[in-house]
């Protein structure tokens, strides 16, 4: 069986998350998106853990299921904030666990280091090596994956607080690190430029704070197993066998691809930033150095070089983003939702529409302009104005040779009253 997995999520107990972010909505929209396995999010938070206990059932495989049979794996993001090498470090890690029993042991350990009840992504003054060693002492089946490894402020290799290698961060515990999450602002091709990463499998997940389909599954990893079990999932993450490919957004779409200063409205490529000695030309303070610049600094390969172990990947922008640009309407507006439901009729789910459905079938539900945009998206040929310093990148299309930017209308989330009817075939 082949399955699309998003294993880095947040619950409503994490900061800046919807109060409606619950298991029911995660399951519902995962089916619409075409995601077949989700991370549980925030398993350390006591209130969310109680909900997980209520909503999910263990069956001995290490995979938990809802009453409808939808699969989840226990997952939490942890924030480590500490000093090492005379420098402040802020590192985010994704943690996967095989059972509620193991989660309870993880939580007890973390409670000895601080609080777990104030945020779904709790923070601790623990080094990466100490944390991983502690996890391994609880269970060798726990998997720790450095999250969005290139993000300036919270990534393993981030320009602000990161390290230059996995070994520098984890010391002797580096042997327990098997995979790295690329994050929105980088893709596998960028990571291939560092030969020091050849022995790590690259995975992609959404880090979503929402269940809406333009966030959930926007990045994902495709696995293939005979049977979906926690053991098979972890084996694929650790060895690469069973890890088929990743689904990525264009790295320019991420919030930190280029260098810049958001407050000064300054955005620069790495080459431009270096000409300014990495100083903002407006406020004269240091720029926030983005992911592409950081990759350039650490790379020992040229662009296009590919290691033997490399897995394929696809660059895909979510369907709502495409519709928003083509229809010139906000992503959460009634107009975009109505067209979204209409286009979904061409396939099994959103990923099927974006990745597989033929031009002929798409033309039955959309005009030529939208179909051309969907197909260019599938081929990785859409133009993105790169994101920088916390600002998402902007999708561009051309009409009559003129570039039209992503429509940025502010609007409340809108879901039609017809939702259950429109989406009935997913349930």
For the cut 60, the answer to whether the pLDDT of residue 228 exceeds it is: yes
Q: What is the pLDDT of residues 207-222, one digit of tens each?
A: 999 999 999 999 999 9
Residue 399 confidence (pLDDT) above 70: no
| Bridging pattern class, strands 313-315 and 243-248 | parallel
What's the pLDDT score for residue 210?
A: 95
Check whether 402 has a pLDDT greater than 50: no
**Rounded mean pLDDT, 252-261:** 97
Please name each of the domains of the chain with its CATH number.
2-253 (3.20.20.140), 317-426 (no CATH)
CA distance 55 to 35: 19
Residue 397 has a pLDDT of 84
What pLDDT shows up at residue 409?
Answer: 44
**Using 50, 70 and 90 to split pLDDT, how confident is the model at 111?**
very high
In 3-state terms the chain splits into helix, strand, coil percentages (rounded to 5) of: 30, 20, 45
For the stretch 318-339, pLDDT in tens is 999 999 999 999 999 999 999 9
Instruction: Using the predicted structure, report yes or no on whether residue 412 has a pLDDT greater than 80.
Output: no
Tens digit of each residue's pLDDT (9 = 90 or more) over 72-110: 999 999 999 999 999 999 999 999 999 999 999 999 999
The mean pLDDT value for 245-259 works out to: 97
Q: Mean per-residue pLDDT for 244-264?
A: 97
Confidence grade of residue 405 (pLDDT, cut at 50, 70, 90): low
Is the confidence at residue 415, as pLDDT, over 60? no
Cα–Cα nearest to 12, from 109, 121, 170, 116: 121
133-137: average pLDDT: 98
3-state secondary structure 254-281: CCCCEEEECCCCEEECHHHHHHCCCECC
Give me the chain's average pLDDT, please: 94
388 in Cβ contact with 288 (< 8 Å): yes
Q: Is the pLDDT of residue 62 over 80?
A: yes
**Would you place residue 421 in the very low, low, confident or very high pLDDT band (cuts 50, 70, 90)?**
low
User: Contact, 96 vs 145, CB < 8 A?
Assistant: yes
pLDDT digits (tens, 9 = 90+) for 146-180: 999 999 999 999 999 999 999 999 999 999 999 99
Q: What is the mean pLDDT of residues 396-415?
A: 53
Which residue, 66, 45, 69, is CA-closest to 56? 66
pLDDT-derived band at 406 (thresholds 50, 70, 90) equals low
User: What is the arithmetic mean of pLDDT over 215-243?
Assistant: 98
**DSSP code of residue 224:** E
pLDDT > 50? residue 119: yes
Residue 401 reports pLDDT greater than 50 = no
Q: Tell me which of 251 and 410 has the higher pLDDT.
A: 251
């Amino acid at each position: 069986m082949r399955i699309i997995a998003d294993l880095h999520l947040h619950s409503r107990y994490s900061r800046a998350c919807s109060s409606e972010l619950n298991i029911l909505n995660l399951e519902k929209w995962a089916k619409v998106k075409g995601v077949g396995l989700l991370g549980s999010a925030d398993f350390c938070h006591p209130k969310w853990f109680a909900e997980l206990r209520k909503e999910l059932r263990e069956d001995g495989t290490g995979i938990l299921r809802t009453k409808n049979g939808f699969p989840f794996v226990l997952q939490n993001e942890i924030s480590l904030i500490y000093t090492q090498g005379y420098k402040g470090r802020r590192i985010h890690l994704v943690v996967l666990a095989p059972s509620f029993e193991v989660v309870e042991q993880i939580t007890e350990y973390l409670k000895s280091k601080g609080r777990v009840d104030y945020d779904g992504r709790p923070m601790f003054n623990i080094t990466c090596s100490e944390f991983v060693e502690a996890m391994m002492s609880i269970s060798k089946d726990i998997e720790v994956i450095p999250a969005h490894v290139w993000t300036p402020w919270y990534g393993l290799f981030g320009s602000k607080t990161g390290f230059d290698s996995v070994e520098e961060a984890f010391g002797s515990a580096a042997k327990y690190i098997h995979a790295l999450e690329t994050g929105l602002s980088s893709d596998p091709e960028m990571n291939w430029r560092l030969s020091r990463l050849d022995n790590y499998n690259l995975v992609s997940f959404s880090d979503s704070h929402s269940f809406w389909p333009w966030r959930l599954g926007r990045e994902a990893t495709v696995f293939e197993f005979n049977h979906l079990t926690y053991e098979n999932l972890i084996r694929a993450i650790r060895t690469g066998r069973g890890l088929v490919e990743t689904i990525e957004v264009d790295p320019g779409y991420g919030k930190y691809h280029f260098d810049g200063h958001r407050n000064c409205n300054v955005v620069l490529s790495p080459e431009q930033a270096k000409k300014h000695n990495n100083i903002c030309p407006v406020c004269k303070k240091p720029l926030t150095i983005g992911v592409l610049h950081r990759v350039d600094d650490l790379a020992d390969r040229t662009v296009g070089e590919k290691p033997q172990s490399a897995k394929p990947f696809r660059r895909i922008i979510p369907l709502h983003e495409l519709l928003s640009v083509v229809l010139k309407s906000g992503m959460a507006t009634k107009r975009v939702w109505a067209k979204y439901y209409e286009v979904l009729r061409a396939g099994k789910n959103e990923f099927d529409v974006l990745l597989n459905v033929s031009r002929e079938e798409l033309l039955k539900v959309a005009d030529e302009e939208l179909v051309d945009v969907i197909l260019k998206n599938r081929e990785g040929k859409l133009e993105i104005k790169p994101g920088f310093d916390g600002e998402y990148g902007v999708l561009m299309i051309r009409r009559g040779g003129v570039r039209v930017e992503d429509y940025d209308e502010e609007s409340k989330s809108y879901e039609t009253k017809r939702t259950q009817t429109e989406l009935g075939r997913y349930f």
